[in-house]
Amino acid sequence: PSTGFTFSAMYRQADQVARALAAGRPPVPQAAYPRRHRWMDAVALRALDRGGVGGPEFFDRLFDRNPAERVLRFLDGRTTPAEEIAIMNSTRLMPMIAATAGDAVHRVRDRLRPTRPAPAIPPAVVGDALGAGGAPRPT
């Protein structure tokens, strides 16, 4: 989802919605990307965000070590598991392992942490909260 191929996914989903509506079915499209692609996207973003890999280096390696068509299918969420292994093998191992471990820890922590209540919404400001000269009015 973070690759810029969102428009391709939006097009696929719009087509699914249109077909469903034409057939009288509820207009609910499939997920834009397979679950494993969303996970790999999260891991790659974590590696990039945490500085484990640099963006230009990461994409240079992907395109240098794989056919462009495979990389583009991967970025669009349309590769097979075998192609994904080839893609993974073209990245730097240690930063990606660290990003995978960090993602796993984050997911486990989110499942174990009780949901926090939403923060209280402050009361609305009624009338002119500032007095003459822009100074707050005494309460």
* Total Cβ atoms within 10 A of residue 3: 19
Residue 93 near residue 86 (C-beta atoms within 8 A):
no
Question: Which pLDDT does position 128 carry in this prediction?
Answer: 57
Q: What is the pLDDT of residues 1-56, one digit of tens each?
A: 555 677 888 899 999 999 999 999 999 999 888 899 889 989 999 999 999 999 99
- Would the pLDDT of 69 be above 60? yes
Instruction: Note the pTM of the prediction, 2 decimals.
Output: 0.67
Question: Which pLDDT does position 14 carry in this prediction?
Answer: 94
Tokens 């280096």 belong to 57
Domain boundaries, the chain: 1-50, 53-112
Q: What residues form DSSP beta bridges with 130?
A: 136
Tokens 């056919």 belong to 67
Tokens 């000269």 belong to 133
Of the CA atoms within 13 Å of residue 19, those in its CB half-sphere come to: 8
Question: Which pLDDT does position 124 carry in this prediction?
Answer: 66
